[in-house]
């Protein structure tokens, strides 16, 4: 039977998508999706090749909502830009997300994580995602971007609507699109306020205010707000899912949990391995700008390719025994934060959050217990992860 793949199918979103990805890698590595006149790449080398290729463009969008269903407008976003302006803007923002800058935030992140963990010390069952992972990510995201932390709950509600899907629907809902516009309008107002009254400490907003394109043009507040939406969503939605996956993987692999507890330096490799194995971002998209060939198939200019990161990160050609969680794996390559020009700009922040969070948890509660019967999964065609994780923390 010929393998079938539809990113919006019930089987892919709520079923065993890894079984489908496995068949794609072996039977149809350049898989044609006739309904969308698009191709899906599932092998690691193929996705890596496309990420660094000069034959693709991001200017028409990077998600299924941009390039397949076309319900989402292509707004000014760092992800939706090609060189040279992408290179210029990314270079300016990148300085704000480099390891040296992130290290200055570590004491504050550690204090925040400790504060959030205080409520777990009563030995009762708590909701890990809602009470720890999401508040941690949102507070750090607001601080790095330069948003009032008091607006965190409001932003989380908008992001939830942005990703909400209707059963049987195809991609983004009208409510999700409305939430996107509401968030952009909020961020536009924040940009205008900070332009009029610059903050004492530089943040991502001030970097965007200072940016000039090749012609010397500045970004207006609407454009700044649009760029900020990428940083807010990317910086606050993915981390909770990876952290929840890491918690579960360590419980399921008690020997490795003991190792990370006794040696906090293993926290980052453990975080990276959880991201590789259970990457929340299922795929991103590119438009092909010139004809190229892969595995005997011609991909034509104007067609779309889906980069199936989650499939590629379990390719046995790149990762021996790929379905096994191994904190000592330390592979030379991974697509956990993508690759190439559009690799995740916030990767150092995410790793630091993950390192601090799991180190603080294991230092205080090395014998935590996740009630796996109470796990709930949040899944869309774009992202997957746990939305509920009942945990009892034991000192």
Q: Which residue range forms the structural domain that includes residue 31?
A: 10-392
* Number of domains into which the chain is organized: 1
Residue 335 burial by CB count (10 A; 0-12/13-18/19+): exposed, middle or buried?
buried
DSSP β-ladder status, 304-307 and 38-41: parallel
- C-beta separation of 3 from 23 below 8 A: yes
253 in any annotated domain: yes
What is residue 379's predicted lDDT score, i.e. its pLDDT?
Answer: 81
224 in any annotated domain: yes
- The span from the CA of 94 to the CA of 134, in Å, is 24
227 in any annotated domain: yes
What is residue 353's predicted lDDT score, i.e. its pLDDT?
Answer: 96
List Cα–Cα distances, 43 to 6, 176, 211, 212, 350, in angstroms: 17, 31, 37, 38, 25
Residue 101 burial by CB count (10 A; 0-12/13-18/19+): exposed, middle or buried?
middle
What is residue 270's predicted lDDT score, i.e. its pLDDT?
Answer: 98
378 in any annotated domain: yes
What is residue 215's predicted lDDT score, i.e. its pLDDT?
Answer: 84
pLDDT string in tens for the chain (395-residue length)? 788 999 999 889 888 899 999 999 999 999 999 999 999 999 999 999 999 999 999 999 999 999 999 988 888 888 898 888 888 888 888 888 888 888 999 999 999 999 999 999 999 999 999 999 999 999 999 999 999 989 988 998 888 888 888 777 777 888 888 988 999 999 999 999 999 999 988 889 998 999 888 888 899 999 999 999 988 988 888 999 999 999 999 999 999 999 999 999 999 999 999 999 999 999 999 999 999 999 999 999 999 999 999 999 999 999 999 999 999 999 999 999 999 989 999 999 999 999 999 999 999 999 999 999 999 998 888 899 999 999 999 87
Tell how many helices (H) and how many strands (E) occur in the chain. Answer: 16, 12
**Which stretches within 146-253 are classed as H helix?**
152-163, 174-196, 204-210, 221-252
CATH code of the domain containing 146: 1.10.630.10
Here the tokens at position 78 are 């760092």
- The span from the CA of 337 to the CA of 343, in Å, is 6
């Amino acid at each position: 039977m010929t393998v079938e793949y539809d990113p919006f199918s019930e089987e892919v979103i709520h079923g065993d998508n890894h079984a489908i990805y496995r068949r794609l890698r072996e039977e149809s590595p350049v898989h044609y999706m006739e309904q969308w006149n698009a191709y899906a790449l599932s092998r690691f080398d193929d996705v890596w090749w496309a990420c660094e290729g000069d034959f693709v463009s991001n200017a028409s969008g990077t998600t299924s909502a941009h390039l397949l269903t076309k319900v989402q407008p292509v707004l000014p976003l760092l992800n939706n830009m090609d060189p040279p302006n992408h290179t210029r803007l990314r270079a300016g923002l990148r300085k704000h997300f480099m390891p040296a800058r992130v290290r200055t935030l570590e004491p504050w992140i550690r204090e925040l994580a400790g504060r959030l963990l205080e409520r777990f010390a009563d030995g009762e069952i708590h909701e890990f995602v809602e009470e720890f992972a999401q508040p941690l990510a949102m507070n750090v995201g607001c601080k790095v971007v330069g948003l009032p932390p008091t607006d965190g709950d409001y932003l989380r509600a908008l992001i939830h609507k942005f990703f909400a899907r209707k059963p049987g629907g195809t991609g983004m809902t009208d409510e999700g699109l409305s939430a996107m516009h509401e968030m952009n309008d909020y961020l536009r107002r924040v940009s205008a306020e900070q332009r009029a009254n610059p903050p004492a400490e530089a943040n991502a907003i001030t970097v965007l205010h200072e940016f000039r394109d090749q012609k010397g043009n500045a970004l207006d507040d609407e454009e700044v707000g649009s760029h900020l939406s990428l940083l807010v969503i990317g910086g606050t939605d993915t981390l909770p899912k990876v952290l929840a996956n890491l918690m579960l993987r360590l419980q399921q692999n008690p020997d490795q949990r003991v190792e990370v507890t006794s040696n906090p330096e293993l926290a980052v490799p453990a975080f990276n391995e959880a991201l590789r194995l259970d990457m929340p971002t299922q795929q991103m998209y590119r438009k092909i700008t010139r004809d190229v060939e892969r595995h005997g198939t011609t991909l034509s200019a104007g067609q779309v390719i889906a980069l199936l990161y989650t499939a590629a990160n379990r390719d046995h050609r790149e990762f021996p025994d790929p379905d096994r969680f191994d904190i000592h794996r330390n592979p030379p390559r991974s697509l956990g934060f993508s690759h190439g020009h559009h690799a995740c700009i916030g990767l150092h922040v995410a790793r630091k959050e993950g390192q601090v969070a799991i180190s603080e948890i294991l230092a205080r509660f090395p014998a935590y217990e996740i009630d796996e019967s109470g796990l709930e999964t949040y899944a869309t065609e774009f992202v997957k992860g746990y939305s509920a994780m009942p945990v009892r923390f034991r000192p």
